[in-house]
Amino acid sequence: MRWVVVFPGWLKRWVFSFVSAITLWPFIFVKHDHLKADERLIRHEMIHLRQQVELLVLPFYLWYLTEYLLRLVQYRDRQKAYVNISFEREAYAHESTPDYLPQRPFWAFLRFLTLPAK
């Protein structure tokens, strides 16, 4: 299942201006229409879709927010906290690997919990 759509108006008001895509299962929202063809970006968001399904969606968001807040305490830097969330570490590490998702192990993001900081 893959539904990629341009940010609707209500979402634009809630997303930071630097964000070019956001995944809210089962949708991938992109800021501009041309981004639908950005394979690296879509692969990154597809990894988030898989993570969300594996955690039955709602717990993903709770975990994501909790880990972000813990990383914020850890690094005292918003950008560094964001890129070091285990879900983001996995997505950034494999967004350029075309055959990653078919062979990705279940709950693979757990392997990214304890990596050194980016």
Contact residues toward Zn ion (CB under 5 A) are 88, 91
Q: How far is the CB of 96 from Zn ion (least distance, A)?
A: 13
Residue 62: CB minimum distance to Zn ion, A? 17
Nearest to Zn ion of 34, 64 (CB atom): 64
DSSP strand pairing (27-30 vs 3-6)? parallel
- Angstrom distance (rounded) from CA 5 to CA 73: 34
| Closest residue to Zn ion using C-beta atoms | 91
Q: How far is the CB of 44 from Zn ion (least distance, A)?
A: 5
Instruction: Specify the residue, 67 or 88, whose C-beta has the smaller distance to Zn ion.
Output: 88
Identity of the residue, 28 or 91, whose beta carbon is nearer to Zn ion in the bound complex: 91
Q: Which is nearer to Zn ion, 8 or 51 (CB)?
A: 51
Least distance CB 19 / Zn ion (angstroms):
9
